[in-house]
Amino acid sequence: MKFNMNNMNKKYFYLCGVVLLLIHLAVLTGYGMSKEGYHEDEYYSFFSSTGTAAVYPRSAYDVRTGHEMQRQFMVRQGERFQFAEVIQNQEEDVHPPLYYLALNVIMSLMPEHFYKWFGLALNMLCSCVTLGGIMYLLHSLGKGEACYPAVLLGGLVYAIAPSTVSNVMFIRMYAMSAMWTVLYTCVIVTVMRRGECGRRRFAVYTAAGAVLCWLAFMTHYFCLLVPFFLTFAYGVVTLWRRKGILRMLVYGLCMCGAIGLAVYCYPASIEHIFHGYRGEAALSVLLNGSFREMCAMFLPVLDKNVYAGMMWAVLALSVAALVLLTVRRGMEGTDRAALGRGAVVYLACLASICFLVKTSLFLGDSSCRYFYPVLALLLPLQAYLWYRAVSELTAGRKRRGIIGVAAVLLACVPLLAGHMQNRVLFLYPEEAEKKELSYRYGQEYPLIMVYSKEASQRSWYMADQIWPYQYVIYSDYEHMLELPEDPLLTQAKGFVVYMDAPAETLDPLVERNPNVEGYTLLRKDNFFMVYLVE
């Protein structure tokens, strides 16, 4: 049987789906192997998933071992599956606990070990489920085998997009959020597609949507953005059609009930949303912030890191494709309902992005994390619409297959450009050289961490650079001139010092140790300058 891209049968479609999954895993594994460092929030993910308390300096002068500092990011022997402590850690912060409970399960399988793959494996699993959900969703928006190439293109875009890879590389709850977002979208589109199904089947769909809402809320509060706009759109469409209103009300009430149950299960969420520092910041921006100013901050970051500078062109082509398909299918009277569902999802994604722009905290390039769950839907949907529009325009032409391949390549241009421009975030390749220095001096020289009492948590930001040292000495700025007569200070052959203070602060240290002669500035990081004293 001759293979034809525009007349693909089910066998080839499933085979290509498996190949896409393998490509996705290969891309994620390759980037995962090159991940050298961690964002400070990733350290918090590991720490808060251990179920133990943070190790902060106990006094103005405190001596630890590097291994002791590393153990606070491990599940310890005899403390596996401490779910209550994990939940308590999140209650004291501002996040729901589901992602961290899942991470605790993985870490508990190998106590007394720390690997980046604990978090990456969890995110990769979520991302694979997300890919399957995206392909199911796109398939439900079209009819028959003719849509298979468009579905595969949408899956390919998700599988290789820099934003997808960045989401997996960031060991936080956003990859899980994307999974629940996509799965809920599959449910709501199915409800809209099969609104006149039997009661039992409708009950199954409603229960699935409610469970996903509960899981989404327990993963990340913003994870409910897309479900909210999609459910609202379902209500509007139902009222417009004046058909299925009772079922729509039952479905909506069940979703509200699921969220109410989540609040009951996790009452700290009320404090987080309305009084926590994240919640207060979001509400403040929502009520007082300027939408234009927020767009001026966020959109260039999205343009650079997600679309490689081609955002407006991609959005314009996607809207044009949606309009073209709507007009042509509307004139022919075919596939209008499917296109309507596609338009609803597309508009819900854009509405969610607008809301996120309005409420999210601006944190430079890493601000992209807020948009990853929405982009997991938006990017494949745009590629799907684009390919369908090209297929419509080239129907019946001799070189339709060549034009289709050209459309596929064109859809992948922004993604490939993003990879070439190193737009995959949260890899921190520069950390490799810093850790190499730690291993070079760690067993011979003590590390002195000079910290501020008001920001002692900043010593976390280079945690894996601390672990190789045999001894780690903590001292706050105020007591640097009053260090005790410790042999670690007076007899060491040298020191590595992290501090953000005038270099002269090191003079007493040099004067008290006959084995050292002076100090050299090795580098300047975001929060600390690194000196070598020898």
* CA end-to-end distance (rounded Å), the chain: 74
pLDDT digits (tens, 9 = 90+) for 415-462: 889 999 999 999 999 899 999 999 999 989 999 988 776 666 677 778
For residue 68, pLDDT beyond 80: yes
Strand pairing category for 61-64 and 447-451: unpaired
What is the rounded average pLDDT of the residues 91-97? 88
The pLDDT of residue 96 is 94
More confident residue, 96 or 93: 96
pLDDT at 4 over 70: no
What share of the chain has pLDDT > 90, as a percent?
43
Is the torsion defined by CA of 315, 317, 320, 322 positive or negative?
negative
The confidence score (pLDDT) of residue 246 equals 92
pLDDT at 114 over 70: yes
Mean pLDDT confidence for 388-394: 78
Q: Average pLDDT in the 68-76 region?
A: 88
CA 225 to chain CA mean position, Å: 15
pLDDT tens for 479-510 read 776 777 888 888 889 999 998 888 888 888 88
* 201-225 residue pLDDT tens: 999 999 999 999 999 999 999 899 9
Distances (CA, A) of 223 to 154, 174, 228, 356, 389: 22, 8, 9, 11, 30
Q: What is the pLDDT of residue 258?
A: 95
pLDDT tens, position by position, 127-181:
999 999 999 999 888 766 668 888 898 999 999 999 999 999 999 999 999 999 9
- The pair of structure tokens assigned to 451 is 């910290």
* pLDDT at residue 332 greater than cutoff 70: no
| Mean pLDDT (whole number) for 370-393 | 87
- Give dist(CA 205, CA 208) in Å, integer: 5
Question: What mean pLDDT, rounded, does the chain reach?
Answer: 86
pLDDT band at 387 (very low <50, low <70, confident <90, very high): confident
Dihedral pair phi/psi, residue 388, rounded to 5°: -60, -40
Most confident residue range from 189-193, 255-259, 409-413: 255-259
Would you give the DSSP letter of residue 458? G
* Burial annotation 299-312 (CB, 10 A radius, 16+ → b, else e): eebbbbbbbbbbbe
Tokens of 407: 């459309």
**What does the pLDDT read at residue 1?**
38
List own/partner pairs for 314-323 with CB under 8 A and 24 or more apart. 314/382, 314/414, 315/382, 317/382, 317/386, 318/346, 318/381, 318/382, 318/385, 318/386, 320/389, 321/382, 321/385, 321/386, 321/388, 321/389, 322/346, 322/385, 322/389
> Residue 161: its pLDDT value, please?
94
User: 87 pLDDT band (50/70/90 cuts)?
Assistant: very high
> What is the structure's pLDDT at 2?
43
pLDDT digits (tens, 9 = 90+) for 16-34: 999 999 999 999 999 999 9
pLDDT at 334: 55
pTM recorded for the entire structure: 0.91
How confident is residue 395, by pLDDT bands cut at 50, 70 and 90?
Answer: low
Compute the average pLDDT of residues 400-404. 63
Quick one: pLDDT at residue 265? Answer: 94
Range 4-12 average pLDDT: 67
- 501 membership: H or E segment, kind and range: none
